[in-house]
Amino acid sequence: MNRMMDMERKVTKFGNSLGITMTDALKQIGLSQGDTVLINVNQTTGEIIIKKSTKVSLPNGISEDFMDTLTNVIEEYDQTLQGLKDR
């Protein structure tokens, strides 16, 4: 079940950086200190998507470039692929 949570936070200065705190949200998606995340910034809509990284070791003969290209194709055609799956 997908459940969206609305949160409002103030941008704060952390040393020389700007940031926000969102411990509860990170815990809800299973993140803890030291985990690696993927951040997707949509400059058009102002949306930021944070996902837990699920990087795995690739089998011999499969390059990271291939996986990056495959991921981009899957993301670009996600709705089309979902439509095919649901037929």
DSSP H/E element including 83: helix 78-85
Mean pLDDT of 63-81: 88
Residue 5 has pLDDT above 80, yes or no: no
pTM listed for this prediction: 0.51
Higher pLDDT residue, 12 or 83?
12
pLDDT of amino acid 2: 61
CA 52 to chain centre: 6
Write down the pLDDT at residue 51. Answer: 87
Q: Does 1 have pLDDT greater than 60?
A: no
Residue 82: what pLDDT? 85
